[in-house]
Amino acid sequence: MHTLVMKGKDALKKGAELINVGEVVAFPTETVYGLGADAFNDAAVKKIFEAKGRPSDNPLIVHIADDSRLHELVTDVSEEAKIVMKTFMPGPITVIMKKSDIVPLCVTAGLDTVGIRMPSNETARAFIKECGTPVAAPSANRSTHISPTSAADVFEDMNGRIPLIIDGGDSQVGIESTILDMSTDVPTILRPGAITAEMLARVLGAVKTFSGKVVVAKAPGMKYKHYAPACETVVAKDAESAIAAYDTAEGEGHTPVIIATSGTCGLLENRTHIDLGSSDEEICRNIYAALHRAEKIADFIICEHLGDSGICGSVMNRVMKSAGGKVV
Ligand code: TXA
Ligand code: MG
């Protein structure tokens, strides 16, 4: 299959045409690029799983352009869910609610709940609107690889597997949406993101963070390997450990690279590094592009520990998975 990469209004029109004949199309969002299909078309949804190599027991989230389609998709919206949606949607959050009968089970992987997301990215919303149907979409990477934050990253994983990538430039947030389960008594964060626990607690009072052993996975995706670069990746607890790990790896004949904040990069002398910037937002925006670049220029990736709370805590949730939990 030939994979087109298109920009602008023509891209949206072509994308919507493809969606309406049951094809899959990659499109930009503010978090990461998504791989979309008509959420009501079983055969089209199956193509997403095929293109990604994704296990069929891992549900997809459903993207809407505005709340006009919301009530078709979910059975009841609690007062708390209304507050969350009013405060943070459109934006980088997915809210899990009880699904209605018209949401196909292949989208939710057999669950009685569905994740709803309204992106803030204008291209994403214009595309979904043009499609005229809710769009089921996971991140547009091959299963287990790093999520794409540019059309070029999508092309690398999906060339020859999908007909079209809509190029909307770089994703501005940079990591996947916060997933908030509102189908249970206490709202629970299943995946941290740019909308942090602190921000949610401000409007909700109580929020739980899902932690602990994933025996029966709450977000089924959590039990799978994730965000894995092509080469070995470790987290360094500070600049000193990063330098030590770099020098050891180089001594062993590896080609290492350090991914770090601007402050740390200033200490690395002539060691190969990728600068994430300084602010939380910059670090979040740049992390996946940095991992993508790192796996191309090196065979051993060392990422500095970026912090435990706020947005950087969410970034570290992904980096730890990339590193398989390995800290040096
Ligand atoms: O920012 C994002 O959320 C991006 C963009 C494209 O919107 N999408 C994304 O989708 O990251 P994906 O499929 O890569 O991750 C969605 C996660 C998976 O771990 C999945 O298991 C979980 O959400 N999920 C989806 N529906 C769920 C449900 N009903 N209950 C629990 N977890 C669910
Ligand atoms: Mg994903």
- Class assignment of domain 232-322? alpha beta
Considering only CA atoms, which residue is closest to atom 17 of ligand 1?
221
Domain ranges for the chain, please list them: 4-209, 232-322
> DSSP character for 222?
G
91 contacts: CB under 8 Å, gap ≥ 6 = 30, 118, 119, 120, 195
Amino acid at 303: C
The rounded distance, in Å, linking the Cα atoms of 78 and 184 is: 11
Ligand closest to CA 174:
1
Over residues 235-254, mean pLDDT: 98
Residue 213 and residue 264 in contact, taking contact as beta carbons nearer than 8 Å: no
Query: Residue 269's pLDDT is what?
Result: 96
Predicted confidence (pLDDT) per residue in 267-301, tens digit: 999 999 999 999 999 999 999 999 999 999 999 99
**Is residue 211 very low, low, confident or very high in pLDDT (cuts 50, 70, 90)?**
low
Q: Which of 31, 33, 94, 178 to mutate to test the pocket of ligand 1 (most atoms within 8 A of CB)?
A: 94
pLDDT at 209 (0 to 100): 82
Q: What CATH number is given for 4-209 in this structure?
A: 3.90.870.10
Question: How is residue 74 annotated by DSSP?
Answer: B
pLDDT digits (tens, 9 = 90+) for 112-168: 999 999 999 999 999 999 999 999 999 999 999 999 999 999 999 999 999 999 999
CA of 113 from ligand 2 middle (Å) equals 18
Distance CA 60, CA 138 (A): 6
As a whole number of angstroms, the distance between CA 36 and CA 15 comes to: 10
Q: Which helix (H) or strand (E) holds 102?
A: none
Are 124 and 31 in contact by the 8 Å Cβ rule? The answer is no
Q: What is the pTM (predicted TM-score) of this model? A: 0.94
Nearest ligand to residue 58 Cα? 1
Predicted confidence (pLDDT) at residue 218 exceeds the cutoff of 70 = no
